[in-house]
Each structure stands twice: as C-alpha cells, then as structure tokens.
Amino acid sequence: MRKKFKKIDWLLVTIPVIGVFTVSLIFTTFPTRSHHYLSMVRSFLNQRFSFFYILVAIFFLCSSLYAAFSQYGEIKLGDPSDKPQYSNLHWGILVFTSTMSADIIFYSLCEWMMYAQEPFIKDKPNVLEWSLTYSLFHWGPIVWSFYIMLAVAFAYMLFVAKNKRQKFSEACRPLLGEYIDGIVGKVIDLIATFALIAATATTFSMSMPLLAAAVGKIFGIKNIRLLSLILIMIVVLIYLSFSVMGMKAMTWLSSLCYTFFIGLMAYILLFSGS
C-alpha cells in the first residue's frame, strides 16, 4: 500500500482539488458577481479567439486525416500479434456513452437556441438556419478529430512505446524529451487536469438540472438543487466504482446504458404521439 502511495504524484492531485474547492467556494459565496465576470471572460474569448479556435480545429482535422491515410496510419497500436480486445460495436458504445449520451439530453433540445443568442448569428438574415449550421461544427468530423488525435497519442504511448505512466505529458515525450520530467511536464499535466474538470463540470451543469427535473417530476421532489447534488454523487460513485473494476465492468455498464438509451428512443418514436 505504501508503494502505491509513493507512486502518486501528489502535486497533480492536491493543486486541482484545492483549485476546485476554492473556485466552488467563490462561486457559491458570490454567485451574481461570479456570473458577471464569467460572462465577461466568455465574451472576451468569443470575440478575440474564435478564429484561432477554428484554425486549431481545422489543424486537428487535417492531422487526423494525414495520420490515417499516410504511412503512419499503417502503424499497429500494439504488438504485431495482438488482436482487438473488443469488437467495433463495443468500442463504439464505449465512445458513445463516454462523450455523447449526457450531452444529447441537453443539446438535442436547445443547442440551436444557444447559438441563436450569439451576436454573430443574431445579425444573420436567417437565424434558425445559421444556428443549425453551427451545430454541425459541434457534432461533425471536426470535433471528433480532437478525440482521435489524443486517443492515438495515448495508444502509441501505452502499446507501442510501452510507457505505462498514464500522464498527458508522457504523450508529449517524443517531442519534448527530458523536459517532460521537469516543470514543463507538470504544467502540461495541470492544464490537462483542469481542462478535464472544466469539461466534466460543463456536462454536469447542463445535463443534470434536466435529469433532476425529470426525476423530481416522477417522484414528486420539489427541491431540484438538492436532488441535483444527490444525482451527481450517485453518478460519480457509479462511474468511479466501475472504473476501478476495469474495462470489462465499464464495457458492461456502457452496454447497459446504451440498451436503455435505445429503448428510450424506441418508446419516444412509437408511443410519444408526435
């Protein structure tokens, strides 16, 4: 047990935890002022860096296509004798339940309304068509290129280079070399950790209120805020438990969630009356 604790990078654990608790305390204590400043930051980033973000997205898309169709696409992410551990269907279900299922609850209903409120779309002659067009940028091949390049980098690191230290900085070692062992590696890992926390918080903040409202409607619970916190704790506990149990357990859970999702879609299609 002591050896396992010694292997933990406590700097990468404590700083994000302290940061999350600090930011949560500030947001809870000063909700109105926090919302004001966050809106200012978001407006500044949209106005100044939207074009840069699009360039980065196009770069990742082109990089994904090049990696797939060039000689690098022939590199097997594993030993020459390795066989796929799971079928394409299982991998597809794992990808679906890890990145899309929660977002569909929220975005499928009102994503176009969010885009319709943006200043650069409000001025267009047909707001509905433009807002739906930007939805394709969110769900089309460009956004998937971000996931693809990161997955390929990690797969190469783990199964080809045989580097078992699962840090984001380790995936950059072929480019940065020994700098990864110093402050540069720490900064990369901290940025990646905070990005993951922010992405998870965004998903929860958008999908959980809708889920809590539905559960509250079914069971007659009126305290939606408390119910949201309870549901978040349940979801985190479930996924944490299955992650510790390993890929087989996670595959089983993903298949179960996907089955329920297909059942829900079939119910809506056949019995919703629309």
Q: What are the tens digits of pLDDT across the range 62-100?
A: 999 998 899 888 888 888 888 888 888 888 888 878 766
Which residues, 6 or more positions from 193, have their beta carbon under 8 angstroms from its beta carbon?
A: 12, 16
pLDDT above 90: residue 262? no
Least confident of 17-26, 113-122, 142-151, 153-162: 113-122
User: CA of 200: how far to CAs of 60, 78, 257, in Å?
Assistant: 22, 30, 18
Burial of 133 (0-12, 13-18, 19+ CB in 10 A): middle
Distance between CA atoms of residues 1 and 4, nearest Å:
5
- Average pLDDT over every residue of 110-118: 80
pLDDT above 80: residue 108? no
∠ CA 128-130-134 to the nearest 5 degrees? Answer: 115
Task: Give the per-residue pLDDT at 65.
Answer: 92
Backbone region of residue 177 per phi and psi (left: phi > 0; alpha: psi in -120 to 50; beta: other values): left
Q: What are the tens digits of pLDDT across the range 202-225?
A: 777 777 777 888 888 888 888 888
DSSP 8-class letter at 246: -
pLDDT above 70: residue 155? yes
Residue 36, SS3 per DSSP: helix
Domain spans, the chain: 2-207
Task: Give the per-residue pLDDT at 131.
Answer: 83
Q: What are the tens digits of pLDDT across the range 184-196?
A: 888 988 988 888 8
Q: Any long-range contacts for 19-27 (C-beta under 8 Å, 24+ apart)? A: 19/194, 20/197
pTM: 0.73
Mean pLDDT of the chain: 82
